[in-house]
Structure 1
Amino acid sequence: MDRPSPQAKRPISPVLAGPYGHPFHPILVTVPIGAWVGSLVFDIASYVVDDPDFLSRGAMWLIAIGVIGALVAAVVGFLDLLVIPAGSRAFRVGLIHMTLNLLVTAGYVAGFLWRQSDGPSGSVPAGQLALSAAGLAVLGISGFLGGKLAYHYGVRVADEATQAEGFTPYRRGSSGRTGG
């Protein structure tokens, strides 16, 4: 039986990727996810208001914010991928996760450029709305794989001995630290 790699739990650079047991990638992905979900909400809302231009424009800029956030998260995620042993199942899942995220980001870049060329003029066209919805669907699949990396394979998650510290009884007057 194969054992988890302790190498995959340690960051390649704690300053860039986050310290042991507290990676930056999961926190950074909230920016593109939130921005892209918000853009889809604005897209849909553009069909139910009298003056949809502000929503169409807002969705376009939320897409741009999401792309910038995705690029930052991708750099940090790539650093996390580098600590996974090549040829392992976790590495393969990491490559698929990265590829899907890059495809989604490319789709949103294309969507931004498409919207930029059209300019806001009423409700978001159905094709642009469909592209955003498809992007979020693929992002959901990729997020599932990211969860598998962390929760199933334990990539960049503290080992069980470190995790057990959180379940020791708290003693009043102690700092809660165990010397490490």
Structure 2
Amino acid sequence: MRQNRVLWLLDRLEREPRADALIDTLRRGVRALPLGRGRDLLHGRWLGHPVHPLMVQVPIGSWLSAAVLDLRPGRSRESGLLIGVGLGAAAPAAVAGWVDWAELHHRQQRIGLVHALCNTAAVGLYAASLVC
């Protein structure tokens, strides 16, 4: 039953037009970036597969490892290092994600925008955890 609610919510979000003006502005901005050949590199055309899903493994793995280390006393230095690695790896992964996102169908872009906003919040929280 819970899965049906999640699918219902995602379907509703895909059909929600209120964010379309923002999506159109962001899509034009991403497409206007002067990436040249870098656009194909970020799309993963050389690999035959988008690179964004591959690139996000580094921040996810780093942050998950940092969380495990946080459970152990005396490991805050190592945990902080892993959080920093994750933050550094998140930036190029996000750029690749935005480049892919700009070419998606409008319905997919609505979901992708929520995905990006949630991940931006996560990056902000991890960055804040380094200074707190």
TM class, shorter-length: 0.5 to 0.7
Superposition deviation, residue 21 in structure 1: 4.1
- Corresponding position of 1:78: 98
Deviating beyond 6 angstroms after TM superposition, the runs of 4 or more aligned structure 1 residues are: none
Superposition deviation, residue 17 in structure 1: 2.1
Structure with the greater alpha carbon radius of gyration: 1
Partner of residue 49 from structure 2, selected from 22, 27, 41: 22
Decide which structure has greater helix share.
2
- Corresponding position of 1:37: 64
TM-score normalised according to structure 1 size:
0.50
How many angstroms apart in 2 are the aligned matches of 1:17 and 1:113? 34
Q: Which runs of 5+ in 1 are unaligned?
A: 1-11, 47-51, 115-180
- Corresponding position of 1:109: 127
8 A Cα contact 2:43 2:50, kept in partner: yes
How many angstroms apart in 1 are the aligned matches of 2:41 and 2:55? 14
How many angstroms apart in 2 are the aligned matches of 1:26 and 1:35? 15
- Corresponding position of 2:78: 58
How many angstroms apart in 1 are the aligned matches of 2:59 and 2:85? 7
Identity of aligned residues (%): 36
How many angstroms apart in 2 are the aligned matches of 1:15 and 1:66? 21
How many angstroms apart in 1 are the aligned matches of 2:100 and 2:67? 29
TM-score normalised according to structure 2 size:
0.67
- Corresponding position of 1:158: none
1:36-93: CA deviation from partner (whole Å, max 9, x where unpaired): 00001100022xxxxx1xx1100011101001111110010000111013xx221100
Superposition deviation, residue 13 in structure 1: 2.6
Superposition deviation, residue 99 in structure 1: 0.6
Number of residues paired by the alignment? 94
